[in-house]
Amino acid sequence: DADVTQTPRNRITKTGKRIMLECSQTKGHDRMYWYRQDPGLGLRLIYYSFDVKDINKGEISDGYSVSRQAQAKFSLSLESAIPNQTALYFCATSKTGLSSEQYFGPGTRLTVT
């Protein structure tokens, strides 16, 4: 079984709809992250969480919110989706500390029409 899972894997939604992307991990890591990737670009950090009570904005948090329901679960919500949020979304985890190795989920391809 995969260590970091994301649901759904693909989603098409309409402008203005609320949508939630979910991430679960079995690695026992405290740190979790949400990124988006646009074609030809690198990953940009949306939100990150170092434990259940510690949630921080990343580089591009506007239009997004998150919830850390448990150590193993970190959800990303788009309250009112817009077309320029069409992207590939990745969840990642890492251990506490400066080792910096992040483990990525398989990604969710989101299309907002």
Partner 1 sequence: GQSLEQPSEVTAVEGAIVQINCTYQTSGFYGLSWYQQHDGGAPTFLSYNALDGLEETGRFSSFLSRSDSYGYLLLQELQMKDSASYFCAVESFNKFYFGSGTKLNVKP
Using the rule CB under 8 A, give the single segment among 20-28, 67-75, 76-84, 99-107 that binds partner 1. Answer: 99-107
Is the link from the previous residue into 83 a cis peptide, with omega within 30 of 0? no
DSSP 8-state code for residue 21: E
10 binds partner 1 (CB under 8 A): no
DSSP 8-state code for residue 84: G
Considering only residues 39 to 98 of the shown chain, the ones binding partner 1 according to CB under 8 A are 40-45, 48, 50, 56, 58-59, 90, 98
Using the Cα atoms of residue 20, residue 106, residue 46 and residue 95 in order, give the sign of their dihedral. positive
Residues 91/33, Cβ–Cβ less than 8 Å:
yes
When binding is defined by CB under 8 A, the residue of 25, 85, 93, 102 that contacts partner 1 is: 102
Residues 24/72, Cβ–Cβ less than 8 Å:
yes
Residue closest to 91 by CA, chosen among 25, 20, 34: 34
Smallest separation (angstroms) from partner 1 to the CB of 11: 16
Using the rule CB under 8 A, give the single segment among 10-18, 20-28, 73-81, 104-112 that binds partner 1. Answer: 104-112
Chain residues that interact with partner 1, rule: CB under 8 A:
33, 35, 40-45, 48, 50, 56, 58-59, 90, 98-107
